[in-house]
Chain A
Amino acid sequence: MLATANEPTIDDYPIEAPPESGAGEWACPVSFPVIEDESITARLVAEVTRLAPWSAETRATRGRTLFGVTGASPDQVEVLARALGKLAEQGNLHQPPEVGIDWKFDMPLLVRHIADDLRTFYHEAIAAQPGPGAPNHDALNNWIFGGTALGDALQAVAVHLSADANPMSKLVRGLLIPEGYFQGGSAFPNSPAFGENNPETGD
């Protein structure tokens, strides 16, 4: 197109993304037994402990990690898990958790990026595990929100955000859990007022 166009031009890219074969049926080979009387924090810490060797393997293989946008270092994943667990259990959205991490975001936006760092850790862990193919977006979300303490913690934090009077908390709620997975409804409620404040266009 660069060689032939003589005016501003928009062309459809003719190549469609290839279908994902079987990735939607993916299941994590590592299971996390749920013990009813355990706190979210305890379950979360147990999960990251179980996944840590796999995540370390992926970091070593790739020579990099996307973990750490919050300011946490890779050896602080358990600290980060405890911070999210505390937020889920106590719902304090106005003070950043004091856990020894030099946070790069203010509350409540920090919550969004704690979720991101932990999801990155989980994704990097399953990338190293044996098994056929990589899971697609839906399979990943079905796993996170259907069978992990991380998903349960994010659901609990989302409820706290929904109940908070700060408009920024409502916005962060919409950015915390992928559409279709929040048990409390859509990130895009049918409200013009919400739309005016919501930068989630995903361009």
Chain B
Amino acid sequence: MVRLTDLHEAEATHMRARANAMTPVDPAPWISPKPLAEAKIAIVSTAGLHRRSDVPFTPGAVDYRLLPGDVDFADVVVSHISTNFDRSAFQQDPNIWFPLDRLREMAADGEIGGVSKWHYCFMGAQPNHQALEAAGEEVGRLLAADSVDVALMVPV
């Protein structure tokens, strides 16, 4: 995993200060998940990904974009604002940030029950996580309505 010591000292100091300023979030009620081999999985990413035709994200955006399960990565762009992280690996293989092909392979191999028809992307670098509450609950309702059992959270 990436550690603060991997980052530039100024960036690491800033992120420590941000983390210390965050308000703790109470745990949600525990739900025993289905076995993965029976679970339908959706990706929820904060990489600021969206389709070219979508309205791009702006700094601090608290809305989200849909990525369909059959999306072609050629139609996906990034409007995440951070400039401190290397994007060349994502350019090489979008699964680095959005492991849709890996989920498709796992579904084909029977390791997971299925892949959701829809996946969801938020803007990262969000200074006020409480501002995301309404959109987060909305996505939760959409996932439930789509019979998704597991959300794979991919913070970027």
Contact = CB atoms under 8 A, between A and B. Distances in A.
Given A104-B56, A109-B58, A187-B10, A202 B84 contact: yes
Contacts of B74: 63-65
A201 B60 CA distance: 10
Interface residues of B, number: 50
A69 B79 CA distance: 7
A188 B10 contact: yes
A120 B13 CA distance: 28
A201 B126 CA distance: 7
A203 B155 contact: yes
A137 B7 CA distance: 11
Q: Is the interface of B mostly helix, strand, loop or mixed?
A: loop
Interface residues of A, number: 51
B127 A127 contact: no
B79 A137 contact: no
A203 B83 contact: no
A187 B83 CA distance: 10
Given A15-B1, A17-B1, 6 more contacts: A64-B72, A109-B59, A123-B88, A178-B84, A195-B17, A198-B14
Interface of A: 2-3, 6-8, 12-13, 15-17, 62-66, 68-69, 104-105, 109, 112-113, 115-116, 119-120, 123-124, 127, 134-137, 140, 171, 175-180, 186-188, 195, 198-203
